[in-house]
Amino acid sequence: MPEKKSRPSVEIFDTTLRDGAQTEGISYSADDKLRIARKLDELGVTFIEGGWPGSNPKDAAFFEQARTMQWQHAKIVAFGATRRAGLKPGDDPSVRALVDAGTEVCAIFGKSSVLQVKEVLRTTLEENRKMVEDTVAYLRGQGKRVIYDAEHFFDGYRLDAAYALQTLQAAVKGGAETIVLCDTNGGSLPWQVEAAVTDVIAKLGPVPVGIHAHDDTGCGVANSLAAVKAGARHVQGTINGYGERCGNANLCVVIPNLELKLNLRALPAGALARLHEVARFTAEVANFAPNEHMAYVGNSAFAHKAGVHVSAMQRHPDAYQHIDPTLVGNAMRVVVSELSGRANVVSKASELGLQDVDAATGAKVVELIKAKEHEGFSFEAAEASVSLLVRRISPDYQPLFTLLDYRGMVSRHGARTMAEATIKLSIGGHEVHTAAEGNGPVNAFDMALRKALTPLFPQVKDISLSDYKVRILNSNSGTGAVTRVLIDWHDGVRRWSTVGAGTNILDATWLALADGYEFILTPARQAAAAHD
């Protein structure tokens, strides 16, 4: 999209390290938080909420280290609550911890719902207003910029709109620079959010208004966009939508919608193309599998499987894509399966660097794929195996190696289990016979194959199996069911995936293992032959 100098901007407030850390299954270390914070700063978000310094030593350690670092784009934010009822802000340890965190910006939350004030805080409505105003004013007096999060605002607004607005006015009176309306329980719908934000902006005056949405109705992103449509210019959320319960508004979807659909500036110029990288990096640090079907940044977001779609895409790139995927750092992919047409295979072959694959060859590969998928194979996530299917249909194809024989043995000696595999291959017309032990039959099988290949292909030592997945297809057949094996590989530079299937798990494993090594080693053999 062409740059427009007059594009209005929206502040992006990232709370992946605080609200996102409340995801079930996530436990960041202080170092994890610093690594993610660096990526967010490189992305160019406006604020990074680091955590609650008064709540645990880990967050305190994060802020201590963050103070010594240089941040290019973002302001690090310390998060906390208003003072407790009956205390002065300076006497409340959690408020003092905000000051001691040493950040220029603090975000504090307070109650805006009469139910929360009466039933949770167990204090008076007037005291709650004072708690908001006093805490904001105290932090301002300590030289802090203050962002005020109105917790449970939308629920409180529906119960008693007048009181909910009074709590916002108390924060403004105390000196808050931005008032953020929080859908804390995540139960609001977009039209409710838009109406409430419109009312707040009309009554609050010139103070900027923001939105903090949760995803309990599946509307976190929609509610954030509805708030922006109503005039909010500050959006809070998390990378990949991490957060308590169903998660927070997903910034990986909110940000490109702001930039590409609403023509608002959310990141520095050119930074949007880093979004895919940041999403996957954050998932890796969190030890979560990336959501491959996530809008914009999922690896399936621009994947095309239907033959009609792929054929149309070959004629025009906008035929079945709403944006150019490179704008968010992603890429178009063609998926090959039994539903594919010739166009899928031809396009996939080109994508994999295989030239001169014509329609006739594509048709042969499609029929082969249909037959194999009927046997239990699945090629959608096994692009290396697809590449080999295309190569093997060529008249001049020569296999890298051929399996002649294998044998596996598993034994138990007391508490110790041992697996051993022997394998006999034909490599370049010569028989190679090796054996190896492993912690299981699959591991032993892989070790024996590596042992056989390494003398001719030293680069085998750099190849690793990053994932090994087994799926039982017809479980009603019990132990005689067809097994599908999918292996993900990497060598420090490239990543690839292969598939095998059969009623014997070792046969299925062999097919996936053999494809994995042949896919990456064949170009090396071809290069060596050309050099000779």
Instruction: Write down the pLDDT at residue 316.
Output: 66
Looking at per-residue confidence, does 425 or 311 come out higher?
425
Q: Within this chain, do residues 353 and 262 fall inside the same structural domain, yes or no? A: no
CB 105 within 8 A of CB 77: yes
**CATH of residue 76:** 3.20.20.70
The answer on 244 and 114 residing in a single domain is yes
Confidence bin at 530 (pLDDT 50/70/90): very low
Q: Which residue has the higher pLDDT, 122 or 390?
A: 122
Name the nearest CA neighbour of 272 among 70, 8, 18, 12: 12
Q: Which residues contact 149 (CB under 8 A, 6 or more apart)?
A: 107, 108, 109, 110, 180, 182, 212, 236
Nearest to 255 by CA among 45, 74, 71, 77: 45
User: Who contacts 342 (Cβ-Cβ below 8 Å, separation ≥6)?
Assistant: 307, 359, 362, 363, 366
Q: What is the pLDDT of residues 107-120, one digit of tens each?
A: 999 999 999 999 99
Q: What is the pTM of this model?
A: 0.72
Give the three-state DSSP class for 355.
Answer: coil
Q: Are residues 129 and 23 in the same domain?
A: yes
* Domain, as residue range, for 309: 303-373
Confirm whether 89 is domain-assigned: yes
Residue 504: inside a domain: yes
Which residue, 235, 256, 286, sits at the end of a domain?
286
Following DSSP, what letter does each residue of 416-472 receive, concatenated? EEEEEEEEEEEETTEEEEEEEEESSHHHHHHHHHHHHHTTT-GGGGG-EEEEEEEEE
pLDDT in the model for residue 336: 57
Question: Are 87 and 186 in a shared domain?
Answer: yes
Phi and psi torsions of 486, nearest 5°: -120, 125
Which whole number is the average pLDDT over 10-18?
98
Confidence grade of residue 1 (pLDDT, cut at 50, 70, 90):
very low
What is the tally of structural domains in the chain?
Answer: 3
Longest Cα pair distance anywhere in the chain, in angstroms?
A: 89
Same domain, 338 and 406: no
Least confident of 209-218, 417-426, 462-471, 516-525: 516-525
Same domain, 411 and 500: yes
Greatest mean pLDDT among 233-237, 289-293, 423-427: 233-237
Same domain (yes/no): 81, 183:
yes
**Integer Cα distance of 8 and 142 in angstroms:** 31
Q: Can you tell me the distance from the alpha carbon of 32 to that of 63, in angstroms, rounded to the nearest whole number? A: 13
Per-residue confidence (pLDDT) for residue 12, from 0 to 100 = 98
Angle value at C-alpha 37, between 286 and 240, nearest 5 degrees: 45
Among 311-320, 347-356, 367-376, 409-418, where is mean pLDDT lowest?
347-356
d(CA 477, CA 479) in angstroms, rounded, equals: 6
CB 195 within 8 A of CB 189: no
Q: Is the pLDDT of residue 499 over 70?
A: yes
Q: Across all residues in the chain, what is the average pLDDT?
A: 87
